[in-house]
């Protein structure tokens, strides 16, 4: 069962939904540095959920556990929740992966190697 770490730029409804599913979710406080988020992700084996493209380019598998990069409009929480729930139900091992999540599909690639 994956554990999640929500970046500050992600709709709070998503965190509420995941917690209602009895999933282990942490929400980072505003102004938390990306480096700190990556460190928490790696140390606690948490999947970072973010709208921030930086996590897809700056952090390799040596520094971050996994990233779900949201490519869904933040003003559409229903689609956001539905898409992430489908990913959560259907996806296997998140470790070392960058998952780019769109409204009706996702793309997976390995995190960069440093």
- State pLDDT tens for residues 21-59: 999 999 999 999 999 999 999 999 999 999 988 888 888
Do residues 82 and 40 make contact, with C-beta atoms less than 8 angstroms apart? no
At 78 the pLDDT is: 93
Do residues 47 and 65 make contact, with C-beta atoms less than 8 angstroms apart? yes
pLDDT, one tens digit per residue, over 56-70 is: 888 888 999 999 999
At 81 the pLDDT is: 94
Burial letters for 20-52: b for 16+ Cβ neighbours within 10 Å, e otherwise? eeeeebebbeeeeebeebbebbbeeebbbbbbb
pTM of the model: 0.94
At 104 the pLDDT is: 94
Asked whether the predicted pLDDT for residue 95 surpasses 90, the reply is: yes
- Cα R_g (the chain), whole angstroms: 13
At 58 the pLDDT is: 87
Q: Does domain 3-110 have CATH number 3.40.50?
A: yes
pLDDT, one tens digit per residue, over 9-22 is: 999 999 999 999 99
Torsional class of 76: left (φ above 0), alpha (ψ -120 to 50), beta (otherwise): beta
């Amino acid at each position: 069962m994956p554990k999640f770490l929500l970046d500050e730029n992600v709709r709070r409804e998503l965190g509420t939904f995941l917690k209602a599913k009895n999933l282990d979710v942490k929400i980072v406080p505003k102004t938390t540095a990306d480096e700190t988020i990556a460190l928490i992700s790696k140390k606690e084996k948490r999947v970072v959920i973010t709208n921030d493209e930086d996590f897809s380019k700056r952090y390799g598998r040596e520094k971050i556990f996994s990233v779900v990069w949201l490519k869904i409009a933040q003003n559409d929480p229903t689609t956001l929740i539905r898409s992430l729930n489908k990913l959560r139900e259907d996806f296997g091992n998140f470790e070392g992966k960058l998952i780019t999540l769109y409204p009706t599909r996702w793309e997976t690639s390995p995190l960069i190697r440093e």
